[in-house]
Amino acid sequence: MKNFGLVVIGAHFGVWLENELTKFENKNILLVEPVPYNYKILINNYADKKNIHICTNVIFSENKKGKFYYVKEDSIHKLKKHWASGIGSIDKKHILNHKNKRFNIQEEDISELEVDFITFNDLIKKYEINSIQKLQIDVEGAEYKILNEMNFKKIEIRSIQFESKHFDGTFYEGSNLDEIKKKLITNGYKIKQIDKENILAEK
């Protein structure tokens, strides 16, 4: 079993992770990213880093083959929002719900891919993870499914940073978020809202 400094579920193509990767450069790092054009960049950028592992599975609450949706690479320039490359979801409607006056996403802008879904517990087994110093989760609304399934008695995680803005639906926070906050507090974490979109739980 191995100790990991950083595990990121929803790593995008790493552009916003440079500071974190530097902090943990001498420790094991796992980057999870299922969007093909994003994980290809990760593989190319970190192929020579033996401590950085890259996983292309979708992390969910059950093991299965399922459909995963993401913004087409060719549509990112058309939509004029670079962050669109980070919108991948098991729910096509979630992506379409981002539509507004400045982000005119349509069905034709979305790709569909069949991928292997695995649970967080099986992710831990796959990479023989014994402990994690920092876990980051940004998975466009699937945060609840992942955190709800975690057994904190089986793995030590010192801090967890997760996106909260889609916890109970697109751009909605409600009872699911309250439930996870209570679970984290019960397991010894202190909760801090670090910005409008993200929460940090630390021991």
Interval 26-60: pLDDT, tens: 999 999 999 999 999 999 999 999 999 999 999 99
Listed by start position, the domains of the chain span 2-63+116-202, 70-115
> Contact, 33 vs 11, CB < 8 A?
yes
What is the percentage of the chain residues whose pLDDT exceeds 70?
100
For 104-116, write each residue's pLDDT tens digit: 999 999 999 999 9
What distance in Å separates the CA atoms of residue 172 and residue 62, rounded to the nearest whole number? 24
How distant, in Å, are the alpha carbons of 6, 7, 40 from that of 32?
11, 8, 12
Q: How far apart are CA 21 and CA 29, in angstroms?
A: 8
Say what the pTM is: 0.96
pLDDT for residue 117 is more than 90: yes
Please identify, in words, the CATH class of the domain defined by 2-63+116-202.
alpha beta
